[in-house]
A and B are shown apart, each in its own frame.
Chain A
């Protein structure tokens, strides 16, 4: 399977501003797998994504992305950075934002597609297709600043997908969404990654809404990490050892795992297992 692996970390350490953020991190994400990077604020989740992109140098170990060093071929990667939502003053349509994902870095002027011949028509068709894929048809022509947080997030995922990447890197895409939207956007990401065979590495603050969709988890904490399949990593023993505070893992009535007591978890998830049923 290692030939298929999209991202492979072997004993990797990252140093930012002279301080080692985490070290000895090992994991593999294969094509078509959905991996989550989890942990409290400031633990180095964004740093890990930037290391995959080759934007942050590593101080030990090796990272390979499709068998090459990070940053060697960014065209196979769709990246959605950690962000705040577009404010109401942003007067650009969602479809234009998606289009920038296709060729936004090319020098020149964005002309209307009817002026660009067959290439322009193909580009416009690809943009329409990916907007359909994320279910954004009904609001893609509105100014993006007037779209809700969930709608903006779908458009940004479409932007990251428009060049048919093999690897999708998402930094807290569920950040500003309510629980319903967190689930539906997670389900969308999972279905895209299964259907198109795309590997996904996504940073999330809270594991519970996305747990049913995950193939891999990378839990960061205290300068290290525990990584692997959710059943291996999401255990009271592994998480308690990582964080040094008691962490419980419960099963709700549907048999789903629920993590309780992880440091820095959002307050809207009560420490009462019944509430999650």
Chain B
């Protein structure tokens, strides 16, 4: 099969065009927002927001409205609640998130999943929909959903572009950032809302349970490959796009769901990057030792 006929084949159906458009928007937003999330060590919060999206979407379906709206309402609402908690900045952060708070969040995750299943069973005849909500689908993305994702994607990337520098400062060094007059709490809250939007959008491509594939894995891969912020963000977006496009294309030609492919490719990229950075570190240490010996 030649590349052109492969592409023709791929986009023969409008649903695949929708899936690629949705995937592209989501990958750019998740790649950029995910980079900050990984630097802030808030992956756990990101996953929680995604899981909260599941009952939102299930409830929306049950009530006969658009599941995409359900994702956004639940995820942004969840983000606002986490932001309002005391020590919100610390959830999953350097200084906290491993103690009581993670127990609370774990409970919230379990409750969200259980509530989601309740809404699914209240809405009878929805069983294939359950898989789609949890593990993603390429056939289910509607044109109105793509439009909604585009609006959310542009809005969240604009907000991120406005707060990026103070956000980076508040992430790396909250005390110094606060002494410079950065409203650390407000910036952290705004970032949680961005994370909610990213989780809601990503859920619509990978399903609620597999958002890690686009929100965490590309960013964690990029961070292993470079410590430069500009390059890291660009790399994270590029990897997320690659993973999404490849995953969607393979899913189209295979009987297995998109969530599986996207997750597997993202995981492979992460493993490769970990190997590269381990090798680099070992080489760096050896070079240091050699310099020391040369000096001695």
Contacts and interface: CB of A to CB of B under 8 A. Distances in A.
Nearest to B95: A84
B169 A104 contact: yes
Main SS of chain A's interface residues?
loop
A103 interface: yes
Nearest to A53: B179
Contact of B168 (A55, A101, A110, A112): A110
Contact of B163 (A81, A93, A107, A142): A107
Contacts of B172: 86, 90, 92, 97, 100
A143 B229 CA distance: 11
Contacts of B227: 91-93, 96, 142-143
A110 B160 CA distance: 11
Contacts of B179: 53, 55, 74, 79, 81
Among B161, B176, B182, chain A packs the most CB atoms within 10 A around the CB of B176
Contact of A107 (B165, B228, B231): B165
B90 interface: no
Interface string A79-91: 1110100110111
Interface in B153-211: 160-166, 168-169, 172-173, 175-177, 179-182
Contacts of A74: 179-181
Contacts of B231: 112
Contacts of A104: 165-166, 168-169, 177, 180, 182
A110 B229 contact: yes
Contacts of A100: 165, 168-169, 172-173, 176
Contacts of A96: 227-229
Among B39, B94, B173, B224, chain A packs the most CB atoms within 10 A around the CB of B173
A106 B168 CA distance: 11
B294 to A, nearest CB: 14
A23 interface: no
A81 B177 contact: no
B100 interface: no
Contacts of B39: 91-92
B175 A81 contact: yes
Contacts of B94: 87, 89
A87 B182 CA distance: 23
Interface string A107-118: 111111000000
A90 B95 CA distance: 13
B223 interface: yes
A243 to B, nearest CB: 30
B191 to A, nearest CB: 14
Given A100-B169, A110-B165, A110-B230, A105 B175 contact: no
B182 A92 contact: no
A185 B94 CA distance: 26
Among A91, A93, A100, chain B packs the most CB atoms within 10 A around the CB of A91
A262 B146 CA distance: 69
A159 interface: yes
A109 B164 contact: yes
Contacts of B169: 100, 104-105
A61 B145 CA distance: 63
A104 B165 CA distance: 6
A200 to B, nearest CB: 16
Among A97, A103, A104, A110, chain B packs the most CB atoms within 10 A around the CB of A104
Nearest to A110: B165
A108 B162 contact: yes
Given A81-B179, A104-B180, A110-B164, 11 more contacts: A74-B179, A91-B224, A91-B227, A100-B176, A104-B165, A104-B169, A105-B166, A105-B180, A107-B165, A109-B160, A109-B161
9 contacts: A91-B223, A91-B227, A93-B227, A105-B182, A106-B166, A108-B165, A110-B230, A112-B230, A143-B227
